[in-house]
Amino acid sequence: MATQNLDIPKIPEEIPSELAGLRMTKQRREVYSVLLHDKDHPTASGVFRRVQEGLPTISLATVYNCLDALVEHGLVNQVNFDREPSRFCVNQSPHVHFRDEASGVVHDIIFKDGCKITDLLNLPAGTEVTDLELTIRGKLPKVF
């Protein structure tokens, strides 16, 4: 099942030796780099396959470790659709994930300016939201 992104990504030339307090080992750098280049929400195995091209000796466990570390430090988002394998994308401006049922493609959807989802909800006053995940399934219009 392929995925793709509606936005055109910009790729930083160089990843520094430390990011967000996370030491950038060559494995982590390669994993992060794969996600920066291919913004199509790959699974851990997908990342593994691509990273192997540059680092043939890397292990799947390391890919999981690296993804965990990157997610932990806020550099990467972990996206879950139902119980399917987790998918990963670089963390950008807040966005939600839309899966087109016809093609299976996952698109990033951004909010309209100034819109906050929690404004719509009857949350108790004073509730502190630390994380929020919205996934949508549907059909895109013909033109897409």
Partner DNA sequence: CTGAAAATTAGAATTATTCTAACTTCACCC
Partner DNA sequence: GGGTGAAGTTAGAATAATTCTAATTTTCAG
By CB under 7 A, residue 62 contacts DNA: yes
Count of residues making up the chain:
144
Contact residue for DNA among 3, 28, 35, 105 (CB under 7 A): 28
Helix (H) or strand (E) holding 62: helix 60-72
Helix (H) or strand (E) holding 76: strand 76-79
End-to-end Cα distance, the chain: 17
Q: From the list its own copies, DNA, none, which binds 138 (C-beta under 5 to 8 Å, kind-based)?
A: its own copies
Please, what is the minimum distance in Å from the beta carbon of residue 80 to its own copies?
A: 6
By CB under 8 A, residue 94 contacts its own copies: no
* CA-based nearest residue to 90, from 19, 140, 18, 142: 19
* CA-based nearest residue to 140, from 110, 96, 103, 95: 103
Please, what is the minimum distance in Å from the beta carbon of residue 38 to DNA?
A: 17
By CB under 7 A, residue 103 contacts DNA: no
Letters for 95-134 (x = contact with its own copies by CB under 8 A, - = none) are -x-x--x-------xxxx--xxxx-xxxxxxxxxxxxxxx
Residue 70: count other Cβ atoms within 10 Å of its Cβ: 24
Enumerate binding residues for DNA (CB under 7 A). Answer: 17, 22-23, 25-28, 43-45, 55, 57-62, 64-66, 68-69, 83, 85-86
